[in-house]
Structure 1
Amino acid sequence: MLSITTKSPYALKALTELARQGGDSPIPIGELARARGIPVQFLEQLFAVLRRAGLLKSQRGVKGGYSFAKPASEITVLEIVELLDGPLGGGSEGIFLDAANAARAILEKTTVADVVEQEKKAAGVAMYYI
């Protein structure tokens, strides 16, 4: 079926924040969770899956946190969804398979870096000066 739980959107929000804060130094998970309004324990579970899959790397200690194991421009939204929620459209038939394939096509061509750019553009549109 075509099923995306809250796991994927929360993970994408946190990864977008990680990319936005960017740099080579790790960002504490609590900081990412606070910035995007995500429960820390939930985000820890999601990031553990993404770390095991090779998308993130973690560093322990005072200057610890998470950073990307590969560039945000190489991590697709589909990859995140399928790691956290399973195959998109698995077991679908007919019109539901068509819908799943359409969703897959969009999510496959959209990267975390693309989402960061979309957020920047949206923030720029919302800003006005007097």
Structure 2
Amino acid sequence: MNISTKGRYGLRAMVDIAVHSFGEYIPLKIIAERQVISENYLEQMFSILRKAKLVKSARGSQGGYTLAKEASQITVGEVLRILEGDLGITGDDDGALGSDKTIKICINTIVWKKVNEKINTVMDSVTLQDLVEKYKNLNSEYTMDFII
């Protein structure tokens, strides 16, 4: 399984909003600068995320984006599925010539199905709030680690 740039950048931008918004709207320009992501690219992703009701937008000088739900109610799996589609690895090729179908069924049900279940379990167990807390912990460790 390979998460595309859209999924990785979209997740980073969602965590950025969760960390910095405090319920206020954040302009994409600010997110783009902080995350070093093209503003145009973010606009495309946020259009998708807005349609999926994960973010809300506001126009004008105080406009931008904010989370549509609490960070604790948005999972990594939800964000990635919206941006990427299905979060599984592909199983055995059903169109292979000369293969014994029983072997394919065994591999698909025992290996690929279990791997996909584990991937989805992990992705759905981590929320944006978990990532915000990890971010804050890492920042407090680094900012408190000074030597005089």
TM-score normalized by the length of structure 1: 0.90
**Which residues of 2 match residues 1-130 of structure 1 at below 5 A?**
2-89=1-88, 91-92=90-91, 93=108, 94-127=110-143, 128-130=145-147
Q: Give the total of aligned pairs.
A: 129
SS at match of 2:14: helix
Identity %: 34
Q: Deviations over 1:76-123 (max 9, x none)?
A: 000011111101117533533332221211110111111111112222
Amino acid at match of 2:36: G
Pairwise CA distance, 1:11:
1.0
Structure ranking higher on relative contact order (CA contacts 8 Å, 6+ apart):
1
Q: CA deviation at 1:22?
A: 2.0
Q: Secondary structure at the match of 2:48?
A: helix
Aligned residues of 1:3 and 1:89 also touching (Cα < 8 A): no
2: CA distance between counterparts of 1:41 and 1:59?
Answer: 17
Q: Structure 2 length normalisation: TM-score?
A: 0.80
Distance across 1 between alignment mates of 2:39 and 2:142: 29
Q: CA deviation at 1:38?
A: 1.1
Structure of greater Rg: 2
Distance 2:71 2:21 in 1: 10
Deviates more, 1:81-90 or 1:69-78: 81-90
RMSD between aligned alpha carbons? 1.6
Farther off after superposition, 119-128 or 28-37: 119-128
